[in-house]
Amino acid sequence: MRCILESNRRYFNHRVTLLAGGVGGAKMARALRSVLNPGLLTVVVNVGDNTQRYGVHIAADPDTMLYTLSDTVGPNGWGRADDTFAVMDELIKLGVDTSMSLGDKDMALCALRASRLATGEPLSSITSDLADRFGLVDLTLLPATDDPLETFVQTEKGEWLDFQTYFVDRHHSDGVAALAYHGSPTASPAPGVIEAIEAADLLVIAPSNPPLSIWPILAVGGIEAAVRVHPQSVAVSPLFGGKPLKGPADAVMNGVGLPSGTEGVLEAYSGLIQTLFIDHGDAGDASLGTAHNVQVVAANTRLDHDGGPAFATTLLNEMKP
């Protein structure tokens, strides 16, 4: 049945570059991959969430992308499916704080990455090799930068936290007042990033958290400028009735001064996009795009296994790159 369904699916011959982070970004990549011919999708992934724990290098968003696209992702949308936690169990016995829990398969990948980075190999080279090993030979997966870049969150109490402390250790329970992307003033795009943006028939910003997942990509030197001049760029809102399906996107957007709902997404990407897709439940917000000179299109933007290909097809048909 799977082969019959796929044989009836329309495949597009457009070069698409996706800026993405988090679970929503990985699902958008999966949806686009399902309707594009091989070799036409490039995914530029946020690395502001990368961190060091337990002596290994964790790249949360690139790994979520790897696992989602290879159908090995865990049931919550991150980590590996059917993983075990023997290493975490031993660390707990040794008195280590394991608030950020890594499965054994996940830990092995992060340990490999750390050892290769220690030899001077760039993150982009490692990511490319891992993508091949996970069978992702029909697309290009790029970290936004090979240079150190780390998202920091200032809480309403004035405390600065690295992203994983805010998001995982403290369960994103702190009110957010400001964000900083440490390393961004000197970070350069990874090889191929600017070229992929410039060569794309269509540039897509995934339904990721704008300040936490997309702005760190744009903070890397030259990326925002390349996006700003792209003639065919579109974003997908991560909000449904003003709320994300999971995560703190609405709270973070409000905390950094963006309006609520669709208006906030439009402001987050002011001057960067020509079109914004919102969920059909928010169709009443379509007129908000006028003030921003942005076309707002309502569609079913839920990216589950059945809805993802349908939405990707709608997006590509609407944009006609």
For residue range 54-78, list pLDDT tens digits in order: 999 999 999 999 999 999 999 989 8
With 0-12 CB in 10 A as exposed, 13-18 as middle and 19+ as buried, what is 294? buried
Backbone angles phi, psi at 250, to 5 degrees: -65, -40
Q: Shortest CA distance to 124 belongs to which of 137, 151, 138, 142? A: 142
Contacts (Cβ under 8 Å, ≥6 apart) of 79: 67, 73, 102, 103, 106
Going from N- to C-terminal start, the domains of the chain cover 2-54+122-319
How long is the chain? Answer: 321
Tens of pLDDT, residues 136-184: 999 999 999 999 999 999 999 999 999 999 999 999 999 999 999 999 9
pTM: 0.94
CATH 3.40.50.10680 fits 2-54+122-319, yes or no: yes
Query: Which pLDDT value is given to residue 9?
Result: 56
Query: Which pLDDT value is given to residue 320?
Result: 80
Mean pLDDT of the chain: 94
Q: Shortest CA distance to 204 belongs to which of 321, 79, 124, 56? A: 321
Residues of the chain with pLDDT under 50: 1-8
Strand partners, 113: none
Other CB atoms closer than 10 Å to residue 93's CB: what's the count?
8
